[in-house]
Amino acid sequence: MKTSLDRGAASKPSSEQRSTMVRMTIDCTDYAPLGDVDWIEQTERGLLLGVGEEKVRVDVLFPDVLRLKISQAGSFDESPTFATCFEMPAPPPFEVRDTPDEVVVETARLRLHISKHPFAMAAHREDGSVIFEDDRDEEGNPRGYLQLNDAFVVTRRMAPGDSMYGLGEKTGAFDRRGRNFALWNTDILHPNVLRLNHLHEADHTLSGRSTEFDPYYTSIPLFYHCRTTDDAAMVAGFFVDNGYKGNFEFSADGYYRYAFAGGQYTEYVFAGPDLRGALRAYTFVTGRMAPPPIWALGHHQCRYHDYTDDEIFAIGKQYRERDIPCDVLWLDIGYMDGYRVFTWHPTRYPDAPRFIDALKESRFRLVTIVDPGVKVEPGYPVFDEGRAQNVLCKTESGNLYIGKVWPGRSAFPDFVKPEARTWWASLIARHVASGVAGIWIDMNEPATGDIEPFAMRFDRDGEDHPHERYHNQFALLMAKATSEGLAAAQPDHRTFVLSRAGFAGIQRYAAQWLGDNCSNWEHLQMSVPMALAMGISGQPFIGADIPGFVSTPSPELAARWVQCGALTPFCRYHNHWGEPDQYPWSFGPEVEEICRNAIQLRYRLLPYLYTAFFQASASGDPIARPLVYDFQQDRRARETEDAYLLGEALLVAPVCVSGRTERRVYLPEGTWVDWHTGERHTGGRFITAKAPLDRIPLFARGGYIIPTYASAPESTMGHTPELLVLHVFLPDEDGEFSSELHEDDGLTLAFSRGAYHRTAFRLTRRGAAASISAVVSGGGFAEFRRRALRLVFHGFRGKEITLDGRALRVEDGVVEFENRAENFTLELELDDAHRVAAKGGERKALREAL
């Protein structure tokens, strides 16, 4: 959302300044090791060791997942954060071998070696490949774990060719190698951000507008170490379950290091060796996204502006008259009365329920913002309730903590207290009773204005805790309470919450956007690897403000940004107060048409996107996924950060540089079909893709079936199509390929009770023979209206196929037949002519179908 902005241009640091930033390393001069292992005790789940004055615990969760813990003052903190949510699985088989020099914990997938004199750790897979190894100093002394007071540092070995991924929302390259990072949720555009947050190790030559600024809004202490050899790339994941301020140093030669300013060492080790397996294990530990309502996947319109209800109606009318699909209109802080949360402005919105009902008649839903800052004003019911119920944050002395945000002097809910979350949920439930569909939570780093946050303290189980322990978790807990309030208001409906800040596990409660970005090419470029990193950090529902929040884009940038944003998981227009209008129609007729086409493409793809969201909710897989996720053994795929897969089957290559009408795209192994032209490409190589201003390079993966609507609806509200289109991209190579289609009512939790249709497709090619089988599961749902399927074949120009043994006529690669969610099998014969690039009638049919 917005802050008090520093409108001066950010100066680009010199090379000398940049090297200074890289040298800002973690100083562990005064830190000390634990000492020797004094005693060992095998437990039901692993191992307990006495090391110096502390204890070390090894818990085996799965054959390829360990939890490592080190006590403080001899005691373990079993709930260091609110990030985890899993039920402890039964202990898998493991063995413990004790020798004079080391003790080894071995499972079917890994071996953990613990040196005794002195204590050190290393883990390897069953094939001997390294998961991690503690580093040693020049004298050979281990320095894997060092401590000082309540802080600790972990240092491990790293080879020259290794890569580092993860850490959630970070600027810069997708591969984190070569940079250092801080984890401290930060309102990046506050002009005094570095001073207020005591980030002395940050690069003070940068402003929050810089594409190299760090830290950012969301802190996720999950990272991946990718080790490469001549033969393979192997990935291990590491989640440090600690909410204190963290620092990660990936710039050194021969080692990486991380440090936390407080809290205990608790680390989950995911052996991999593939990124996919490590992420799925992490999301088992921290939870997965709940399936969202389908309208949340649509196009959203927002602006920081003091709209009236009539002005909002007028914007919605423009969308409908201009034939630009849109599902949701948003209200920023101007809808409130004096920025008092859970109020409506008396003249701008004199009758909120009636206003919202009228929007619904035009098939729009409404989302409103809610900030955590509660105006300190006796007589204001929210403040009075919070103070009376003792659910607002206090200082060490017991006084009310006061910050200064939009309403002026503000108090903040103590979301660490269950009673505070219950109270907040009740406020949310009352607020959405007016008809509000979802909630946007902002300023929840927490941002406290020009007043430092450190006097804000938190109460857990009656004990006072410093601000630093829960600062990074504040947004997570606010999202939890907000989601619970929505669920209380409509128990059988799916919730939608959008959060600016977050911590590990935020995906359980909220979608996120990338915060206050700038309308320039550099921020468009940055949004791609930043969103991909959030995806592999457990948050699949992510996107950036279109066409940038701060400042004014050129028409070309506006066009390129919507093309990219329409093919990201979250798609929202949003711009800042005082800037010129930045609606799709604000940049002239040519750009309006480009925006219309881009958003209509998103809406035609909604069956495919909706299915991808359900798959993500089940597996933890990202929706926008870096190429390394599916092609880890391909070096060029690992190095690609300016293109990505949307779901399993669409490769998106945004144009993020001004003046470009073509761009270089790496296509991994397989068959790839240009979405716009039907041209076929053999993967494993770079191509030069045409990219005129009116389209984004987009490629479909051979072997996959992509379900779409026949045409783009203006809204998902009430959209129950009788026809679906299946785009079948036949591969040039032999193989078996799986795709899926999920259909349900799009709104309720009835799917969890079996009210859905899920069609599993299997496309098989063996030489000249190809077949498609479809197997449907689920009990169906009352809103289901589909009566037919239209299949558009890409790469097949024959005249006949068989459906369950019955011949069907194919016209220009298209066949249509009745299908109300029944199983079916298609058989077709291919020859060399069927594998050539699309021409003539097929290309004409392709254009009509797309």
Whether residue 421 contacts residue 414, with contact meaning beta carbons closer than 8 Å, is answered with no
Pairing, β 130-133 against β 119-125: antiparallel
Sort 151 into a burial class: Cβ within 10 Å, 0-12 / 13-18 / 19+. middle
Pairing, β 542-543 against β 511-513: parallel
Q: Is the dihedral of CA 211, 214, 220, 226 positive or negative?
A: positive
Sort 784 into a burial class: Cβ within 10 Å, 0-12 / 13-18 / 19+. middle
Catalytic residue among 445, 545, 674, 732: 445
Residues 706, 437: Cα–Cα separation, whole Å: 29
3-state SS string for 227-282: EECCCCEEEEEEEECCCCCEEEECCCCCEEEEEECCCCEEEEEECCCCHHHHHHHH
| Torsions phi, psi for 652 (to 5 deg) | -105, 130
Please give the order of strands across the beta sheet that includes 110-116.
95-98, 102-106, 110-116, 119-125, 130-133
Sort 317 into a burial class: Cβ within 10 Å, 0-12 / 13-18 / 19+. exposed
Catalytic residue among 332, 516, 630, 745: 516
Q: Is the dihedral of CA 178, 181, 187, 193 positive or negative?
A: negative
Whether residue 201 contacts residue 27, with contact meaning beta carbons closer than 8 Å, is answered with no
Which region holds residue 408: left if phi is over 0, alpha if psi is between -120 and 50, else beta? left
Q: Is the dihedral of CA 79, 82, 88, 92 positive or negative?
A: negative
Length reported for the chain: 850
Cβ atoms within 10 Å of 850's Cβ, excluding its own = 16
Catalytic residue among 187, 203, 442, 641: 442
Residues 107, 66: Cα–Cα separation, whole Å: 10
Render 182-204 in DSSP notation, one character per residue: EE----TT-TTHHHHTT-TTS-T
Whether residue 389 contacts residue 423, with contact meaning beta carbons closer than 8 Å, is answered with yes
- Our answer to whether residue 516 is catalytic in this structure is yes
- Our answer to whether residue 442 is catalytic in this structure is yes
DSSP class of 550: B
E strands, 294-358, are: 299-301, 328-331
Of 618, 304, 367, 621, the C-alpha closest to 496 is 367
Residues 670, 236: Cα–Cα separation, whole Å: 26
Residues 240, 218: Cα–Cα separation, whole Å: 15
Residue with token string 């402003």: 207
Token couple for 672: 């790839």
In a 13 Å sphere around the CA of 825, the CA atoms on its Cβ side amount to: 6
Whether residue 567 contacts residue 527, with contact meaning beta carbons closer than 8 Å, is answered with no
Residues 494, 509: Cα–Cα separation, whole Å: 11
Collect all residues with Cβ–Cβ distance below 8 Å to 88 and sequence separation of at least 6. 61
* E strand or H helix that includes residue 86: none
Token couple for 277: 């397996």
Cβ atoms within 10 Å of 203's Cβ, excluding its own = 19
Residues 775, 822: Cα–Cα separation, whole Å: 7
Residues 230, 173: Cα–Cα separation, whole Å: 23
Known catalytic residues are 442, 445, 516
